[in-house]
Structure 1
């Protein structure tokens, strides 16, 4: 009974048919409970002395009661939601499991670990437990940050940030001996009350008896002096345990001696208003500005004024949390945070984090509001010039226009693996513009095919209506296109007969076709090529992504004949690619959109050449037969990360995760100050390579630390170590043009910064400045949605990743005290830049697979019921105003809302970006998820590649993703497998 009475809240046995809920608080308290499979009840508890209680009657022995509480915590003066717990009504001992200790494990020792020894378990929310002869582990059972403060045998106090894994903060102390005495307490962030808490001092005596040192002196540090405290970099972690030696002085470290990601931000944001951050004295409370400070360089609220309006003080080196923060010096010498030059204050009349009682006080005090973004300007509108439509209804015909490229082999020839790849000189004379004029759709009886090539054809072959009896490239209809006498690059043929069915053409006929490009004496490269296998449905207009049915060689089946993929599989709308049958899974992210407009075929391959070219020597990465691109040579920046786009985005896929000891050559390491401004010594992005002079700092992955099946990276820096940084792995590129085409209204409609619907998800817009127009845009691209358009994202990558200047970003990335950054001025021509942007924008999206698989369909239902779709929005219809016809008015399934979400401290970094805090990330799209490992050869997920499986990626979700993660954890093994199969079908 006493074990329960000492808790803040719980339930205790009264007699054989009753129990009592209790919460030890003077304020109000509600209990939410369910008996067995009954309906949940929500009841206000009654005050009894300094407790809140409620009797529960008519219970039977063995009844299961699930319950949680909502109550006022006097310490933080805030409402707290407890976790859901279970109670089994028992025989009078008050604990529900019959062992008399109240912990529910049945062993009688009261520690909850089931071993009966009364020492090994984690008793309560905080404490320390024996981990062996020479080690013990502190723990804090809260999902926010936690610090441990301790002394060993009366020596000086040590302070360490603990490591959060699996919802528990842990810190291990090594080198202990039997009888060692540790005095300790904790400071931790309680996410339930959104407040920091400090525990009382406690004492632990170690009972281990082994030394485990290996050098004979009994201390385990290897220096032979017997004291066990050798610490070369003075970070508080002995060298024998230090995975990150030479850490700069005063750097906060974890138990392994590696730099900590610490949230010391004084300012955060709630619905575009500023609030106190975790590093402030009142986290979550509203911040105000004072009209009396206008025109002043300091604060005019001093002395008695601060009784009601305490300033937001800065106790570290700088104000941090959002961009635009500075500090001012107050009359007493303290540092106060200011936003856009205006000092920030709390109001003592605000009793809860959501209060704004100071608004308008005295006509001089106002809520501090985030500036920039009040007037979001769409990328496109009704005045945007549009490229020509690709599907046109003329009244007497439906016209479909698309682009094609030369192919090595045929689509179904898996023995050659030579259909989806690109041959030498692919950008030269090897695309075609094709037009289908379908008169059958309007009551006519024929279809005309017009073809325009970049070079004269020697043998203009055209094939239609798949046969597939002798080969997988056999057709019923085989003709030579008619040449246009006045232009040797123009060809045509007219069809009025379905030779497969031996009848006239009808609406609904499946007309698969292929156009070969047998070039006549081209100046470079080989002459003979095939074309793309496309499927056209007569009378419908537009090409459709296709799947092969049946088995080749089995005449009783369809022999791999093509049928439309059901529309549920069209993840990228009409850009969606057919399924691949050439056994080239690593090439599937490099394909033209299926509906690529005829004028954009040559643009696409030119842009691809830019993507695959080295900005140092102009060489092409795929074949030595491809000549150097001289117009791109000698443009590599003074400081850079990689020499070409494809060096990071290999085959347009996600980069592999780094191996321990390797540099981050396929990552971008963003760096800056606490407020998100550029690092004075390094700029905004770490550039570890240089064409002249000394390179910037090099970042390496020191190791992966693993606990409870999850791993997190530990980084090491040489040279000037950044104080705030954010390593981000190169993402896949497909679908970016479609994301750009989603209207701003569609994104804004999903934002819920105040969580007004109570689902625990409060997605926020990232508002960014357009450097070309100066207008405020919705951020869409990058791990924190830092860029508004594909062009801006590409220009930013050229600037920081390769040091290539463009007309958008003509200045190199450079810190305020940094030199040798390179010269100003655009280097890459707008033509080559625009080709690259169009190439990235018009990549085809792979179709969803397993759309009839019952397990995958079950997983799709679980995806929705678990709440995953609360952030990973399944579908959009793109804007009618995007300039590219391929991207307009498309029904797409990206599974993203493009909003920022707080994913909790486990995934947080130390660098804010724009409106995004360290723990906020843009929801990544999920299309192509199941193909990523085939592209890169490495399965990894999340912004730094830490998750090796989708299961791990889900388990890393915290913050706004916590509920969905918990729903996943409650699933059976079969249900979890179904969810993963669904995700891999995308």
Structure 2
């Protein structure tokens, strides 16, 4: 154990972005009278303590999540396969926390959650004109990010109330901050500004503590205010604030720390100097750079001329509505599936990071997948891995929150799921395989246990020739089992996990309105809902998750994965016997490996992940700057692809736009116009994509329409274009192959794609790659 002293109560530090060298402890800045303070255009990369961690595990309790209101059964037409179901959420469901509201006089109050980051939003790991030397560190997660380091800012916008005033109140989730700074108004008028640089740099100082920059949880004493617009040409006076003004916000928090700030002059060892008093980890961080629109609130942004200046992204690009992740200019496209919703609340940012910790924790040794030697061991989850399992942590199957790593021929498929069933099993009456149960758990903690590895033995290949003569090779995997070959099985790759909360927030009636089980319009496309029995309550819900929509809730999806992939119990499946459908597996006493509150945290994390905005716009890189590959797009080609995608009737299943409801517990997810390109219904995709296992109403050839959001980021998240695989079993190496595998109800649309010119097909692929 390191020699770390804990002083006082647990302290939480927040994620923030400062103007490097600007404002820590400076006086509260008011109106337009102070002189503008433009920071230098570059900053030293090592101006904060190294990313050291701690062995001190200091969890911070989260306020209880309000209980869900009971729902009543809703009757539906029998053609939908059932006569009634239970909605997930009732009208009047309370929100977990507010994220925005208006006061009686029109003042707009927005609550902005923050987490720690390591650098600025436009720092790419090298100068803008230099060759690529690696990614930046804006989207990373520093050690101990999950404890004591989230916070928020309450933005009190009085401009809609007819006043010239905006207040920013620092809200610390836990403990004490000391020296938190705030930068506002990106100085786009300064030609030297690139990586960062703001017009207004200030600090959050506490008038109750003699103006010291010390801010504590439970207090609203630290705030700044301004009454004019600062991003003006040098030498010109500030102007009045007006509705629609855009203001970039870049906070940078500091925790109470040894040898500095509140503890300056105190004796301290070199090993502790600069470390956070609460847990011995890092004490200074940046945070997300957000864009605030006066009178409206926070919006996802992208960079425009000059110098990637911040501008609101058009609504059409916001695949996840206001949860969408802004364009990323730190060259970290591999990390875009891991970020918080853009509109996340203050306490919800804390729920998010705590759930993320569990998602990255090994249930064998309790170590975090990132900074394993710095982050404290999660002692409560040591040695909870089941006797048989596939992986020891959730993130191991979802590469950087993306898809399974697809191995080569002969390699074990232990980041994929191999579902199994007995000969007599049906969708309505599932029966476990005698050897494996409901899935093959390919690894064992007992070195003498039988080897149940599953691998790709070979591929059956088919040469497909398009009408214009282009040839495409399609491949179908042939599997090898070290154990007995199950009578029925289905191999599934793990899917990317962004947008899962938004899917849960869509009202059932919205999805069911897209169903057409009897093909009333005669277009050959049906769309059938799957119906799922809740494993905890036995109530019937609409299926939403998984390749066959066989899971109704995030809670069920998480519990199912914990049990089947890791042998870890939870309140959803409290016994490992549930993996074999033991009828008494829910009738157990005592605790489970994952507690109720921890299960809620993982659900919170998955719910609040941002969906990356569509990369369909050119960014305003300076002429002498290398354009990052993920932003080197052709908007005209993408727009042409959108039109062709619709003309081919692909939108009959891949519904472009849908509205979430007003009942989800997270305010962030309510009433969002989202663009998942899915109707979340089952469609018969023909014999080419059929396997042998049915689930509920989903026959072996039926699959849920997969959401397409995030599709274009897969090649970055998975490590390369060659590592990105498509369709349920990952057989398709390219998007073109994936389209050509479509059969059944999608046959006509596939034919329209085949009949396109090569240039038109490339436009469709360019569109899909922008999502």
* Shared fold per TM-score greater than 0.5: yes
- In 2, distance between residues paired with 1:810 and 1:388? 30
Residue 253 of structure 2 corresponds to residue 533 of structure 1: no
Residue 690 of structure 1, CA deviation: 2.0
2:530–2:550 contact (8 Å) kept in structure 1: yes
- 1:458, 1:520 within 8 Å by CA — same for their partners in 2? yes
Equivalent residue number for residue 431 of structure 2 = 677
Whether the aligned pair in 2 keeps the contact of 1:680 and 1:816 (CA below 8 Å) is: no
Q: Superposed, which structure 2 residues align to 1:298-447 within 5 Å? A: 373-396=82-105, 397-415=107-125, 417-447=136-166
Distance in 2 (alpha carbons) for counterparts of 1:851 and 1:647: 33
2:689 pairs with 1:907: yes
Which range moved further: 437-446 or 518-527? 518-527
The number of residues matched between the two structures is: 611
What do the CA deviations read for 1:546-574 (whole angstroms, capped 9, x no partner)?
A: 11112xxxxxxx22210001111111011
- Return closer, same or farther for 1:477/1:817 CA change in 2, 3 Å cut-off: closer
Give the superposition deviation at 1:873. Answer: 0.5
Aligned-partner Cα distance in 1 for 2:326–2:158: 26
- The equivalent position to 1:732 in structure 2, one of 478, 485, 496, is 496
Distance 1:272 1:956, change over 3 A: farther
Q: Secondary structure at the match of 1:713?
A: strand
The structure with the greater share of residues assigned to helix is 2
Secondary structure, in 3 states, of the residue corresponding to 2:310?
Answer: strand
Per-residue deviation, 1:388? 3.3
* 1:504 equivalenced with 2:214 (yes/no): no
Q: Which residue of 1 aligns with 2:205?
A: 482
- Structure-2 separation of matches of 1:409 and 1:385: 36
Larger strand percent = 1
Q: How does 1:773-852 map to 2 (within 5 A)?
A: 773-812=537-576, 813-815=578-580, 826-851=592-617
Q: Is the alpha carbon distance of 1:459 and 1:756 closer, same or farther for their aligned partners in structure 2, counting shifts above 3 Å?
A: same
Residue 816 of structure 1, CA deviation:
7.6
1:461 aligns with 2:210: no
Q: Map 1:1-12; keep pairs closer than 5 Å.
A: none
Q: Does 1:524 align with 2:306?
A: no
Corresponding residue to 2:457 among 699, 702, 706:
702
Cα distance between partner residues in 1 of 2:712 and 2:349: 28
**1:513-592 alignment, distance < 5 Å:** 513-521=249-257, 522=276, 523-540=279-296, 542-550=297-305, 558-592=306-340
Rounded to whole Å, the distance in 2 between the matches of 1:649 and 1:886 is 24
Equivalent residue, structure 1, for 2:745: 960
Cα deviation code 1:97-142 (max 9, x no counterpart): xxxxxxxxxxxxxxxxxxxxxxxxxxxxxxxxxxxxxxxxxxxxxx
Pairing partner for 2:404 from 652, 655, 659: 655
2:441 — aligned with what?
687
Task: Verify the 8 A CA contact 1:687 1:695 in the aligned structure 2.
Answer: no
Alignment pair present for 1:872 and 2:595: no
Segments of 5+ residues of structure 1 without an aligned counterpart are 1-270, 274-368, 551-557
Is the partner of 1:464 in helix, strand or coil? Answer: strand
Match of residue 355 from structure 2? 607
Q: Distance in 1 between matches of 2:712 and 2:322?
A: 20
Deviations 1:65-103 (A, max 9, x none): xxxxxxxxxxxxxxxxxxxxxxxxxxxxxxxxxxxxxxx
Distance in 1 between residues matched to 2:582 and 2:508, nearest whole Å: 38
Aligned match of 2:342: 594
Q: Is the 8 Å Cα contact of residues 532 and 696 (structure 2) preserved in structure 1?
A: yes
Residues 695 and 455 (structure 1), Cα distance of their counterparts in 2 relative to 1, 3 Å cut: farther
Q: Displacement of 1:977 after TM fit?
A: 0.5
Cα offset for 1:658? 2.5
Partner of 2:30: none
Q: Distance in 1 between matches of 2:675 and 2:338?
A: 19
* Superposition map of 1:222-233 within 5 A: none
* Cα contact 2:143–2:281 (8 A) shared by 1: yes
Q: How far 1:800 sits from its partner (Å)?
A: 0.7
Determine the structure 1 residue equivalent to 2:388: 639
Cα pair distance change 1:527/1:743, threshold 3 Å = same
Counterpart of 1:321 in structure 2 is none
Answer yes or no: is the 8 Å Cα contact 1:696–1:720 preserved in 2: no
| 1:689–1:695 Cα contact (<8 Å) kept | no
Q: Secondary structure at the match of 1:886?
A: helix
Q: Distance in 2 between matches of 1:385 and 1:691?
A: 44
Matched, 1:854 2:639: no
1:817 Cα deviation from its structure 2 partner: 10
8 Å Cα contact 1:688/1:695 also seen in 2:
no
Over the aligned positions, Cα root-mean-square deviation in angstroms equals 2.2
Matches within 5 A, 1:716-795: 716-795=480-559
Could you tell me how far apart the structure 2 residues matched to 1:721 and 1:817 are? 22
Q: Deviations over 1:653-674 (max 9, x none)?
A: 1123231011111100000024
- C-alpha distance in 1 between matches for 2:161 and 2:215: 31
TM-score if structure 2 supplies the norm length? 0.77
1:584 positional shift: 0.8
Deviation per CA, 1:259-298: give whole Å up to 9, x if none.
xxxxxxxxxxxx978xxxxxxxxxxxxxxxxxxxxxxxxx
The alpha-carbon deviation at position 922 of structure 1 amounts to 0.4
Q: Relative to structure 1, is the Cα distance of residues 982 and 706 closer, same or farther in structure 2, using a 3 angstrom cutoff? A: same
Question: Of 429, 444, 450, which aligns to 2:169?
Answer: 450
Relative distance call for 1:413 and 1:612 in structure 2 (3 A) is same
Alignment-derived partner of residue 196 in structure 2: 473
1:971 paired to 2:694: no
Offset, 1:457 = 2.7
Work out whether residues 851 and 857 of structure 1, in 8 Å CA contact, stay in contact via their aligned partners in 2: no
Once the two structures are superposed, residues 181-210 of structure 1 have per-residue CA deviations (whole angstroms, 9 ceiling, x without a partner) of: xxxxxxxxxxxxxxxxxxxxxxxxxxxxxx
Structure 1 stretch 663-672 or stretch 449-458: which is displaced more?
Answer: 449-458
More deviation, 452-461/677-686? 452-461
Aligned mate of 2:712, from 930, 940, 947: 930
* Counterpart selection for 2:727 from 928, 933, 942: 942
- CA drift of 1:637 comes to 1.1
CA-CA distance at 1:720 after TM superposition: 2.2
Unpaired stretches in structure 2, ≥5 consecutive residues: 1-76, 127-135, 233-237, 258-275, 464-472, 619-634
Equivalent position of 2:766 in the other structure? 981
Q: Deviations over 1:486-540 (max 9, x none)?
A: 7832521111111213112111111001110122211322222112100001111
Provide, for residues 150-190 of structure 1, a one-character-per-residue CA deviation record: whole Å limited to 9, x for no partner: xxxxxxxxxxxxxxxxxxxxxxxxxxxxxxxxxxxxxxxxx
- Whether the aligned pair in 2 keeps the contact of 1:590 and 1:844 (CA below 8 Å) is yes
Question: Given that residues 639 and 696 in structure 1 are in contact (C-alpha distance below 8 angstroms), is that contact kept between their aligned partners in structure 2?
Answer: no
The structure with higher relative contact order (CA 8 Å, sep 6+) is 2
Query: Deviation per CA, 1:397-437, whole angstroms, max 9, x where unpaired?
Result: 00001210111110000126110011111012111121100
Match of 1:263 in 2: none
8 Å contact kept, 2:205–2:215: no
2 CA distance for matches of 1:902 and 1:778? 18
Distance in 1 of aligned mates of 2:378 and 2:343: 29
Partner Cα separation in structure 2 for residue 745 and residue 817 of structure 1 = 34
Separation in structure 1 between the aligned mates of residue 91 and residue 718 of structure 2, nearest angstrom: 40
- Structure 2 distance, partners of 1:637, 1:374, is 39
1:492 is aligned to 223
Cα distance in structure 1, aligned partners of 2:700 and 2:166: 58
Taking a change above 3 Å as real, the CA distance of residues 379 and 408 of structure 1, as seen in their structure-2 partners, is same
Counterpart position of 1:359: none
Distance 1:696 1:830, change over 3 A: farther
The DSSP-based 3-state class of the residue aligned with 1:609 is helix
Cα distance in 2 between the residues matched to 1:702 and 1:781: 29
User: Structure 1 pair 637/593, CA: closer, same or farther in 2 (3 Å)?
Assistant: same
Distance change >3 Å, CA 704–CA 544, structure 1 → 2: same
